[in-house]
Structure formats: structure tokens, C-alpha cells
Structure 1
Amino acid sequence: MSNTVVAGWTLIVPVKPPTLGKSRLAGAAGAHRAALALAVALDTVAAALRCPAVAEVLVVTGDPSAAAEFAALGARTLPEGTPQGLNEALRRGAESIGSAVPRAALQADLPALRPDDLASALSCASAYPQGFLADSARTGTVLYTASPGASFSPAFGGASRARHLALGAAELPCPELASLRTDVDTLDDLRAALGLGVGPRTAEVASLILACSPG
């Protein structure tokens, strides 16, 4: 483990077309599902752009309309091309950046994200060639990092914590960072994120969803 601190991270955020996002919330979100998917991603990217450790956010998406909204926030966008899955979209983004800078893959469903939590995780990640941060359930992954010169081999999806460990990535020793670990896949996840405090776009759409949801 090195003591060198790496700054100026480029974050790669993969974003599905909103009409395809948040499929597990289809029943609860109903007609608001696509709006929620886009709102969550926009709030995630907006928070990442405010992180002092981040030099650039690159959004990889196959939706031109969504890309325009991310660009308006200040992110750079890259067309996904033929969809080949989340990890391939991330690799495509990393190839466009090169390996001379620190790169990180960030999930797009973190509407409660705080810039200081992200900065803490990236500061910790600078000590490892490759690292990752597990989600709150400790089965998935919310952040994957690669220092300059290191290979970029994300393995998101399902039980990705175990896959990242098997591939040799270091699990970042960050015990808290709730805003970074709280990804939204279900209605309970959404409620947990709301409890932490979400971005304005997510809050607006979530109010419409919860107004129609029992409990």
C-alpha cells in the first residue's frame, strides 16, 4: 500500500436510457419510473461534480436526450454505442480517457450522495492500484477505482463485491460513507435514501411516487 495521495479523478458513470432504468421499481413507481431513473442519475452526477477530488465526470449513455441534460450540468458525455452491458460501457469510457489519470466507476443510482463522502472514498482509494466500495448490503459495489497505470477491470452486477475481491481489488477501509453506499433499486432503498437527504430532482419525483404508495 502506497502513501501517495492521488487527486484529479475522472469518474465514469454509466447511465441506461431512463425508459429502461429502475426496472425493479416498475410496480411501485408506475408511470414515474423513467422520470425517477433520470432524476436519480442527474442528482448523482451533480453531487459528483461538486466533489473537490473529481476533475471530470464522464457519463456513458445511449440516450441523446439524457446526455444533453448531463452535459448541461457540466459532465462530459460519451455515446454508449451498441449496448453490451454496464461493465463494457465502463471500459469504453476508460479507453476514451487513457490510463495516465486516476479513474473511477460510480454507480448512477446514488441520489443521497454527498461530495465529501465521495472525496473521502477517493482519498482512501489513492493508496491502492485497484479498489472498490461495497453497497450498504455488502453484496454489490457502488464505486470501483483504478490508480494511474493500473488496469481498469470493473465487475459490477449482482454479487459484485465477491467478484471484485476475487479479481484482486482492495475493499476500501471506509466504515461509514452512508450517502455513497445507499444505492436505489427498490422502494425501501428509495425511502432509505430519502432519510439521508436526496437531491432536488429525486425528491420531486419521489414525492409523487410515495403519495400513491401504501405505507
Structure 2
Amino acid sequence: MQTDLVVPVKALPDAKSRLRGAVQPGEHTRLVLAVLLDTVTAAIQTDGVRRVLVVSSDPTVASVLAAEGFECVPEGPARGLNQALRHGAAILRESDPTGQIGALQADLPALRPHELAAAIKTADGRRAFCADRQTTGTTLLLSAPGAPLDPRFGAGSAQAHAASGALPLTDSWPSLRCDVDTVDDLAVARDLGLGQQTSALLCAVACGPIEC
């Protein structure tokens, strides 16, 4: 079974506000883009992942992704994280009405393809989710084949997804659970091993609290 993933991305001026201070002023946008590129690169290299679709109305995001060969579509008329995921899922469903769709967060710069593949395999076709390392958020949500994704991201999303009937995926998978919202999160991701884009950027600027 093949899995298609939706990756939502905010407009860059609003993205990852709690991560400001990790790099020099003026480099924040580059950091957000580097984290995104490492995430989608790992995702598309994952066994069993057929397609990665980014949903973002930010023109810079779209341009950077296009240059790297990734798909990006603008948000639909309804704005918000869950609405963007539903919009992306609907587009993917047009190509394969019976396939499995997943929602993957865009801030997983240490993501290892084998961990994402293991999570998808463990779900075994069931609607399931992987909580973040704090156990309150969600880094990955999978639909059952042909069934709605039914995203419930936001504060306490792990509990919300469990309450909606999604199966909690409980193996460790540290890189899949390490979403990056703060400088401390980025330090944890660095210790796990950052992807090429984020690592190169941090080494190039090398003057904030996170260095290579």
C-alpha cells in the first residue's frame, strides 16, 4: 500500500515564531525553509511514500519547493491548519480515492525515512497518529485507505486524535517525534542529527544559541 502525505506550511512571516532567536535576525525565514526542505526530503525518500504535497499560499515557499522538485499548492478558501490539510487531502484523493493519506508536520528537520516508514507500517492501514516527544501534539496522522483524514491539529491534538478513534503509535521513533517549535527543540533535533539543509544553515550562521 502506498501512502500520500500532506505537509501544511504557514506564511513565512507567521511561521515558527517561537523559534526566533535560534539564528541571527534576518535568517529566521531561511531556517524555516531549511527545516521544511529537510522534512519533505526525508518524507519523499521513505519506503511506501508515493507523493508529498505541500499546502502553502506563501509564494516564497512555493518557489523554493518548485526549484527543488517538490509539489506545492495554495490553500483553499478556508484558512487554518486543519482546513489546509483537508484541502490537500481532497487533492490527493482525486488521484487515488482508495489510498492512504497522511498529514505530516513541516518541522521535522532530523526526520529519518526508516522511522517514518516504520510508523506507517505499524499503522497497518488503520487511522493512526504519532504524538510528539512531549506527547501532547501530533507529528503524523494517517487515514485508513479511502477514509477521511479527519485532522484535529491544534492544542492537545494528540488527545483529540485519540478521542476521535485514531490509534496511538507508541514506538519511540525519536526523529519522527521531534518537531521543532523552540530553540530547545532545535537543540534536541541537532543531537539526533539534522538534515543537510538545516545543518548547513546553522553552520553557515553559527552565531546563535544553536551552532553546528
| TM-score of the pair, normalised by structure 2 | 0.91
Matched-pair contact (CA < 8 Å) for 1:142–1:183: yes
Partner residue of 2:45? 50
Where does residue 3 of structure 1 map in the other structure? none
State yes or no: 1:194 paired with 2:187: no
Deviations 1:93-115 (A, max 9, x none): 01112241110000000000011
Aligned to 1:179: 175
1:158 aligns with 2:152: no
**Aligned amino acid, residue 56 of structure 1:** R
CA distance in 2, matches of 1:83, 1:34: 25
- For structure 1, the residue ranges without an aligned partner over 5 or more in a row are 1-6
Which AA in structure 1 matches 2:188?
A
In percent, how many aligned pairs have the same letter?
A: 44
Equivalent residue number for residue 34 of structure 1: 29
What secondary structure does 2:26 align onto? helix
* Map 1:47-196 → 2, pairs under 5 A: 47-82=42-77, 84-98=79-93, 99-128=97-126, 130-173=127-170, 175-196=171-192
Mapped to 2, the partners of 1:209 and 1:163 lie a distance apart of: 39
Letter in structure 2 aligned against 1:80: E
TM-fit CA distance, 1:126 = 2.3
Bigger Cα displacement from structure 2, 161-170 vs 69-78: 69-78
TM-score by length of 1: 0.89
Query: 1:85 offset after TM fit, Å?
Result: 0.9
Find the residue that maps to 1:35 and give its secondary structure: helix
Deviating 4+ runs (over 4 angstroms): none
Counterpart in the other structure of 1:212: 208
Q: Which runs of 5+ in 2 are unaligned?
A: none
Partners of 1:194 and 1:83 lie apart in 2 by 35
**CA contact 2:100–2:125 (8 Å) conserved in 1:** no
Per-residue CA shift, 1:46-74, capped at 9, x if unaligned? 11111111000011011123113223333
Distance 2:47 2:66 in 1: 19
Supply the distance in 1 between the matched residues of 2:169 and 2:22 (Cα, whole angstroms): 33
CA RMSD of aligned residues (A): 1.8
Moved more, 113-122 or 77-86: 77-86
Question: How far apart in 2 are the matches of 1:204 and 1:52?
Answer: 25
